[in-house]
A and B are shown apart, each in its own frame.
Chain A
């Protein structure tokens, strides 16, 4: 198990990410999918696990640091061009968590091979996708953002995300939750 931070600890069955599992984060563009995916790695990262982010063109370094990710143990592959799957496979050997945003539609075969690799290496694969280009395989755990609402004062304050947590096995019975991501300090919190 890789540990999860607040607020996910209480919302995910087992309170952590099982090694060898595939996790899907699905959101329309601009709805906080990237923040959510990164908030899943914060706790592991601060406990010394390595993670990699593939295919996120322009990572907001400050926001990632504010979330609580330890940047000293994060590798970014912002523009893998056509070789995102190969880079992801390479990185699966070296890191504990891998966040992937595929630049194009993912074929069934590629997804299958990556999932096998993940299971074999005991890594956690977090795939970030949009509803109109979903991950082609069933996943162990899924976070689907259905609504995103900004709370504002004289500036952007916090964003309330409605997240449907689901998946296989015990995770099937999870439900819809509201989380604050990011909050006024740029971190994730329970709603």
Chain B
């Protein structure tokens, strides 16, 4: 989990009817982005930024705190509450208390929190009756016991309590990014996206009217428009957004090192499908740390246990992305099955997924 600096500004958490909250929030965001370009807007009143890189740049965490505090004070005349801990969940708690959790101390900090910080009254009441007053004591329950007694969302909370997940689902405000864009005036009106070099013909109007009719029939996200953006793998490059949403950024045409080359799969699965890739002896094939396969794949086992013979494969092409933050390692593999179909597989964390089908 990443060490995060969270800034909690109480006055910006409640929206005022004159729209000043959003404007102030934007101003603070711009100032913090100068400190660290990875500043994230979590919800109104709360920002987080990774603390490691800026503190190396500014010469110590104290200098970063000072700079952040100063810029908030200059802009809106309020004192922010600063907190540092690993992961968004703990960082927010730390910010509300105004404490800097020392490196490696997040675990005990989280465990010492009262159970109510998980944000569910029913859970807190039940746990207190069971004599569990802190997050730590809740975390000590076996996951299976929790699953027996509670619903899936509580199981998620349990994972947060154990430190397996870094944030609560409810912590982020999903609509905020869009509202900020609108406030900045970057949100374009729907129909401008459809233009062709600024000219609009009768055909464009007709198509748009038809799209609106289908949208009326099936719901706002039924009609999608697509564009291609930069990235390495086809599933990263595809952007499919609801018709009428803000125009995507300009089409990326610059060369992208490490890009998987054409042909790309004609279907890229929105929800990738978990599969097993076995070698001749039925052992699972893995991608080693040097980016090589542990054995020659010989069959692909689908989730319904159907086994398909692999007649040819190419790759793996490993991708190591943002190793300095999240250490995401993926490897792509092209596979041709006995019937003649080809699929694109990706390996991540020793598991295989179908991400594309060459239909």
A residues near B337, Cβ cutoff 8 Å: 30
Q: What is the count of residue pairs linking A and B with beta-carbon distances less than 8 angstroms?
A: 189
Residues of B within 8 A of A62 (CB): 228, 234, 237-238, 264, 268
A122 to chain B, nearest CB (A): 12
Q: Let me know if A76 and B224 touch, CB within 8 A.
A: yes
B73 CB, nearest partner CB in chain A, Å = 46
Q: Which of B210, B225, B228 contacts A76 (CB 8 A)?
A: B225
Interface residues on B, range: 35 or more
- Of the candidates B211, B238, B262, which one forms a contact with A75 in the assembled complex, judged by CB atoms under 8 Å apart? B211
What residues of B have a CB within 8 angstroms of the CB of A30 in the complex? 337, 339-343, 357-359
A11 CB → nearest B CB, Å: 20
Q: Are A60's CB and B356's CB within 8 A?
A: yes
Known contacts A48-B201, A64-B226: does B340 contact A31 (CB below 8 Å)?
yes
Main secondary structure of the interface of B (DSSP, over half): mixed
Is residue B207 within 8 Å, beta carbon to beta carbon, of the partner chain?
yes
- Point out the residues of chain B lying under 8 angstroms from A73, CB to CB: 196, 204, 207
Given contacts A31-B341, A91-B214, A156-B334, contact A61 B240 (CB under 8 A): yes
CB proximity of B292 to chain A, nearest CB, Å: 14
Could you tell me the distance in whole angstroms from the C-beta of B219 to the nearest C-beta in chain A? 10
B residues near A33, Cβ cutoff 8 Å: 359
Specify which chain A residues have a CB less than 8 angstroms from the CB of B291 in the assembled complex: none
Distance between Cα atoms of A155 and B335 in the complex (Å): 9
What's the Cα separation between A61 and B265 when bound, in Å?
9
Write the chain B residue with the least CB distance to A98: B210
Is the pair A34, B208 in contact by a Cβ cutoff of 8 Å? no
Contacts of A75 in B (CB 8 A): 207, 210-211, 214, 223-225, 243
Query: A66 an interface residue at 8 Å Cβ cutoff?
Result: yes
Within 8 Å of chain B (Cβ to Cβ): is A80?
yes
Most chain B beta-carbon neighbours within 10 Å: one of A32, A71, A92? A71
Measured CB to CB, the closest approach of chain B to A130, in angstroms, equals: 11
For residues 88 through 143 of chain A, which have their beta carbon under 8 Å from a beta carbon of chain B? 90-96
Chain A residue nearest in CB terms to B332: A155
Interface residues of B in 300-317 (CB under 8 A from A): 312, 314-315
Q: How large is the interface on A (under 10, 10 to 19, 20 to 34, 35 or more residues)?
A: 35 or more
A83: Cβ under 8 A from any B Cβ: yes
- Contacts of A183 on B, CB cut-off 8 Å? 263
**In the assembled complex, A168 has its CB within 8 A of some CB on chain B:** no
Q: Are B201 and A155 in contact (CB under 8 A)?
A: no
Is A63 engaged at the interface, CB distance under 8 Å to the other chain? yes
Is there an interface contact between A156 and B336, defined as CB atoms closer than 8 Å?
Answer: yes
B233 to chain A: closest residue by CB: A62
Distance in angstroms between the alpha carbons of A81 and B222 in the assembled complex: 10
B261 adjacent to chain A (CB < 8 Å): yes
Contact B340 A149 (CB under 8 A): yes
Contact, CB under 8 Å: B203 / A66: no
Chain B 259-299 interface residues, beta-carbon cutoff 8 Å to A? 261-270
Roughly how many angstroms separate A73 CA and B334 CA in the complex, as a whole number?
30
B45 to chain A minimum Cβ distance, whole angstroms, is 37
Nearest CB of A to B72, in Å: 41
Q: Point out the residue from A60, A77, A152 that lies within 8 Å of B214, measured CB to CB.
A: A77
CB proximity of B132 to chain A, nearest CB, Å: 43
What residues on B are CB-neighbors of A79 within 8 Å?
222
Residues of B183-240 whose CB lies within 8 A of A: 194, 196, 201, 203-204, 206-211, 213-214, 217-218, 222-228, 234, 237-240
10 pairs of A and B residues whose beta carbons are closest in the complex: A94-B210, A30-B341, A186-B262, A61-B238, A182-B263, A62-B264, A63-B264, A34-B359, A50-B207, A76-B224
11 more contacts with CB within 8 A, not counting A77-B222, A156-B314, are A34-B266, A57-B267, A58-B270, A61-B237, A63-B265, A66-B262, A87-B214, A94-B207, A152-B314, A156-B342, A159-B263
Q: What are 16 residue pairs bridging A and B, where the CB atoms are less than 8 Å apart in the complex? A: A30-B337, A34-B359, A35-B358, A48-B201, A57-B267, A57-B270, A58-B269, A63-B264, A63-B265, A71-B227, A72-B227, A93-B210, A152-B314, A155-B261, A155-B315, A156-B314
